[in-house]
Chains A and B, each alone.
Chain A
């Protein structure tokens, strides 16, 4: 008789249990100062406009999901937030601004290194370095010049616990990170990102290469992480957006079509295009 409402069972299956997270979001209008403030942003690959007049505010310590069909510009926008697009030749911001903590991050006096330390990133394809698990987690701190073994040990444990990986790898910290399973690799990448204590974590389809069980673990982790971090997640999986995010932005052809509380986007979207997409009628 208690099987239907077994709490342990629910905890282990966030995929089923948490359909729509209860949001404590302030109602639209009475907005707290956003941590990321994108105003009227145009972005170009060569002559090709990938983002067209995006205006979007992202709230602190919330999970914001970016959804939309392939090529809609959601990943491009994500990579603008830590200036990873700088690495691609022939890309530029046409007009508009991105402010993080009210600082325009595309101003020439912005130190990209410092920006990327504060805005961490987890990639679609898990990319643990072919080094030991320990070296993977400490990579960001080592290059920043930290060499104190005791401190590093501490960070490794804290980050791996934070990424819900500690118990699985604590006995083989000095084995290669490449030897882990796909889901573990992705959580290692999350541990590596939180080791440098960013404020914002960008996730670019972090579960697209994972099986459902590994996906559930990462989603569970995202719920934990949002206590400490602001998370922006790009996903192709609409159930995932519904499960993990507080707010959802729907993109189509480089434009922001609709941005609202996740519940609203999925239950009562204002725009017919959004409705068609979340209902699976195109995309």
Chain B
């Protein structure tokens, strides 16, 4: 029996349904906050620990060596009662200067120096594979939506493309390894990595580009054709420009994926370590495309799972992850700005 008689007809009562309602809202809310919390913890952890490697308390406030040097082994030793901590090259120089010969030192792989070659490699991989993926993907989308006669065959092709999006990335890696590295004989190279990554994001780009093309009003095509434009003139001048913002949106997602994938490049493009930067020691300009590179995700994988763990390797792990996130964010922001600019220009 509810307490005291309600003072008016709309008086709120506590019923089972009302309690269920409140409970459900609470469950849904906590699920959302849980997701938010875990994301924040992950990001916060990487930012907090990574920034300790990347930023330093003294001017210039950024750990320049970490961003501009290649990875080195770290050597720890005692010299004249002092604890010394030196990278590979500095250690050798130190030994030679002080005629130390065989000094006892503990070494930690990849824990000194920086990650510059990985940054360079990742940027090259992302830019190259996105160029290839956009060229192929937009062409395919234009064909599918503007030229092909719609029918069962085209529907099947679309379905196949959609299914490709669900293929695990390691399978793409093996595919690239078999086709580009072995069969075409490109070896482990930028080119093989570009194509493997491009094929991996193609489904996303084709599907999204097709949607963007379809969103361009039919009137623009008819208006152009009625003025005596050819089909290609119409597409090039009066359809593609308006679809470009949408295409760029999909490629932003593609960038994040391409930059982050480790599996497709571990067989096709990535080296554990390489002394030369991609533009060093080329005899012909074509050599550029046929060289392997270091890459951030693969480097993180190597330093986190392939070498003995300790506090020194941890610095590199978190530093690399932090820089990696910054780079992806930077590339994505650039594309978003470009897209917004285009959107403003072609508003209808």
Contacts and interface: CB of A to CB of B under 8 A. Distances in A.
Contacts of B229: 113, 139-140, 143
A139 B237 CA distance: 9
B344 to A, nearest CB: 10
A89 B226 contact: no
A255 interface: no
15 contacts: A87-B221, A113-B228, A116-B228, A117-B228, A121-B222, A123-B226, A127-B222, A129-B238, A130-B348, A140-B228, A140-B229, A143-B233, A143-B237, A144-B228, A178-B347
Given A139-B224, A139-B238, 11 more contacts: A84-B226, A113-B229, A117-B228, A120-B227, A129-B223, A129-B238, A139-B237, A143-B228, A189-B223, A193-B227, A196-B227
A247 interface: no
Interface string A111-147: 0011011001101010101100000000110011000
B163 interface: no
A140 B227 contact: yes
Interface in B47-104: none
A186 to B, nearest CB: 12
Interface string A140-168: 10011000000000000000000000000
A129 B224 contact: yes
Interface string A64-106: 0000000000000000001010010100000000000000000
A273 interface: no
Contact of B222 (A117, A123, A144, A178): A123
B226 A116 contact: yes
Interface in B315-348: 346-348
For the complex of A and B, 5 pairs with smallest distance between CB atoms:
A127-B219, A140-B227, A117-B228, A121-B226, A130-B348
B346 A114 contact: no
Interface in A169-211: 176, 178, 189, 192-193, 196
Interface of B: 149-150, 217, 219-230, 233, 237-238, 242, 346-348
A275 B228 CA distance: 39
Contacts of B150: 89
A192 B348 CA distance: 17
A143 B229 CA distance: 6
B229 to A, nearest CB: 5
Contacts of B224: 129, 139, 143
Interface string A240-261: 0000000000000000000000
B219 A125 contact: yes
Contacts of A130: 220, 242, 346-348
Interface of A: 82, 84, 87, 89, 113-114, 116-117, 120-121, 123, 125, 127, 129-130, 139-140, 143-144, 176, 178, 189, 192-193, 196
Contacts of A113: 228-230
A192 B238 contact: no
Contacts of B238: 129, 139
A114 to B, nearest CB: 7
Contacts of B348: 130, 178
A196 B149 contact: no
Nearest to A118: B228
Nearest to B233: A143
Given A143-B237, A178-B348, A127 B217 contact: yes
Contacts of A140: 227-229
B54 to A, nearest CB: 43
Contacts of A176: 347
A194 to B, nearest CB: 11
A123 B227 contact: no
Contacts of A116: 225-228
Contacts of B223: 123, 127, 129, 189, 192
Contacts of A192: 223, 227
Contacts of A193: 226-227
Contacts of A120: 226-227
Contacts of B149: 89
Nearest to B347: A130
A144 B220 CA distance: 17
A127 B225 CA distance: 12
